[in-house]
Structure 1
Amino acid sequence: ESLFALLFEVLRLFKIFLFLPHAVLHTQNGRVAIVMGGARGMGYETARHLASLGMHVVIAGNSEEEGLQAVKKIHEEGSEGKVEFLFLGLCSLKSVRQFVHRFKARALTLHIPVNNACIMLVSEGKTEDSFELHFGLNYLGHFLLTNLLLDKLKRSGRHDACSRVVTMSSATHYVGILNMEDLHGRSCYSELGAYSQSKLSVVLFTYHLQEKLTAGGFPVTSKAVDPVMVDTDLYNKLCIPAPAAKKPVAKMLFRIPAEGASTAILAATASQLEGVGGCYFYNGERTESADITYDHNVRAERWKQSCALVGLREA
């Protein structure tokens, strides 16, 4: 038993060394971030780290109890930055609009929205607005939220210190299939298919947003981030033959949430990524995404379609 424990610890230390990017992160005093799903898992670790760098962090989530507990915990750690909670239900377009209204009423600047909130491999269901759950929460909620906050981001950024939109994707986007005629998988629902399509849509959104920002000369960048496999609640449905084996397998093969958050933190704050956007980061490194994500016509069609679904006039 002790031998196995030692092996797991060696593998874990190797994993940390392998995954954590080597970058110097400077203080972020005066900058403001919103971390969606920031009360637990990778979102919490992202919020905690951004606050430790001196940033004013707004944790956005659908559980006030969890959100306030996260705020308290970060404050107790003696964080340099201010942390607060605002309610946001990404399964409701009305809630997204209400959140934006409350945030803008606070007269804060905004430099970094981290679109982290996510569901994975859930049974077929619908959001409040009748969208398929993965598509509605993982993609459309973040799509609307980011667009409604763009005016803040454009005013807050500078060309030597851009605002940065960071959106979590997944390697499953490589196998995602876009069905423009059946966005909700109603003809043949698949949990993996729905999840991978939502994450593919995220990459298309990230790239097309950057295209628009660059064309307008705005000091805002947009990046998609793949945190690799992380041991969070998202993997509760992972098929492991013996339930008792899940914990040691996850410890050996998966990253812990703090490691999973490292690429998002890098994308949000690293000085060497200043002005870099329209790209996909895997394990702290810029890498190629699925071929379809580089098709301008596909990106433009998904953007136009998304605007219609959430009630935005396409700019």
Structure 2
Amino acid sequence: MSVISVVIPVLKVYYIGLKVLLYQLFNKSFPLPVFPKQNGRVAIVTGGAKGIGYETARHLARLGMHIIIAGNSENEGQEAVKRIKEENLHQNVEFIHLDLTSLKSVHWFVKTFNDRGLPLHILVNNAGVMLVPERTTQDGFEEHIGLNYLGHFLLTKLLLDKLKQSGCQESSARIVTVSSATHYCGELDLEDLQSCSCYSSHRAYAQSKLALVLFTYYLQQRLTAEGSHVTTNAVDPGVVNTDLYQNICWPAQLLKGLVAGLLFRTPEEGASTSIYAAAAPELEGVGGCYLYNGQRTKSADASYDEELQSRLWTLSCSLVGIPEQHRKAY
């Protein structure tokens, strides 16, 4: 492994991060408008026990939605449920275990949810890891691509029929997928999606976030062609002060401690665009967008490559073990 192959992805990621921090220094966080109550709608939020996911679940609960917090920590999940219920006196908040590093767990989660007989109007693909050391998921995938992307890819595919059944012409079901500005420096190598030839945590993270945007756009094309009342959008929360940064190097940790209060968004501010994408009336029927700070924004040029989108979709179906036209009902 050459020094250059390791250093360049690091420089690219930190350059993108610096640009975002400078933007945040001179621009206020998107203020959420007041949304109408959405009683009766059901939302799943992955990683909803803490950080951006918790704030997303908390706000959607305020709107009267039935919230399913999906996560891999029973203690954190139940504590999040307790806090949201105490604040909102809202009884329709619950936790279901989901480990996105295990395809078996994703199947189990979907079966458990479907057995409840509930509709599904909102799916927020929020959970993620960043800059973890080289390691694999239970199914042998590099962890960034496995958890951030493939776990959510399978989850979304398995829940698509439920989303299609729940959406209608007047009120579409919505898929919201949390990406990152680092996708702008992502390079997707379909021949080495697992980063086996030259591992860089920065490259792997950026690649996983680019994959999520490609997936979002291609899925919207398919949904539109089918005439389904389901929309899917990717969102960028900005640079947010959460524990996602626990794996950055110690100089960066030190710098973060000095500037986070001034430059980083709070988790509540970071969640604002996810909430907007999930609940805004003006986004009814609108999909295939990349949203940042409450605005539609141009994503990386590579994300619009339709051939790459299609090839990634086909490869992803193969990797998670489902046919492209998956129609299994649990």
Partner AA of 1:30 in structure 2: G
> Are residue 264 (structure 1) and residue 274 (structure 2) matched?
yes
The corresponding residue for 1:273 is 283
Given that residues 19 and 283 in structure 1 are in contact (C-alpha distance below 8 angstroms), is that contact kept between their aligned partners in structure 2? Answer: yes
Indicate yes or no: 2:121 matched with 1:107: no
1:282 aligns with 2:292: yes
Q: Number of residue pairs matched?
A: 303
Gaps of at least 5 residues in structure 2 are 1-23, 326-330
Compare 288-297 and 230-239 and name the one that shifted more.
230-239
* Aligned equivalent of 2:237: 227
Equivalent residues of 1:37, 1:117 under 8 A apart: yes
- How far apart, in 2, do the equivalents of 1:16 and 1:152 lie? 42
The answer for unaligned runs of 5 or more in structure 1 is 1-13
RMSD of the TM alignment (CA)? 1.7
User: By how many angstroms is 1:304 displaced?
Assistant: 0.3
Distance 1:46 1:22 in 2: 12
Provide the rounded CA distance (Å) in 2 between the counterparts of 1:17 and 1:190.
32
Q: 1:160: which partner in 2?
A: 170
Amino acid across the alignment from 2:65 = M
Q: Distance in 2 between matches of 1:191 and 1:47?
A: 29
SS in 2 for 1:202: helix
Partner Cα separation in structure 1 for residue 152 and residue 288 of structure 2: 16
Q: What is the DSSP-based 3-state SS (H/G/I as helix, E as strand, rest coil) of the residue aligned with 1:159? A: coil
Identity of aligned residues (%): 60
CA distance in 1, matches of 2:178, 2:141: 20
Following superposition, the deviation at residue 245 of structure 1 comes to 5.2
Partner of 2:261: 251
> What is the CA distance between 1:82 and its match in structure 2?
1.1
Residue 86, structure 1, aligned to residue 93, structure 2: no
The one-letter amino acid paired with 2:193 is L
Alpha-carbon distance in structure 2 between the residues aligned to 1:100 and 1:242 = 38
C-alpha distance after superposition, 1:244-266 (max 9, x if no partner)? 65334111110010000000000
Aligned 8 A contact 1:110 1:152 in 2? yes
**CA offsets 1:32-58 (integer angstroms, 9 cap, x no match):** 000000001011001100001100000
Q: Tell me, yes or no, if structure 1 residue 306 matches structure 2 residue 316.
A: yes
Residue of structure 1 equivalent to 2:132: 122
Per-residue deviation, residues 186-219 of structure 1 (Å, max 9, x unmatched): 1100001000000000000000000000000000
Q: CA deviation at 1:81?
A: 5.7
Change in CA separation of 1:54 and 1:22 when aligned onto 2, cut-off 3 Å = closer
User: How many angstroms does 1:242 deviate by?
Assistant: 8.1
Within 2, Cα distance between the matches of 1:152 and 1:237?
A: 36
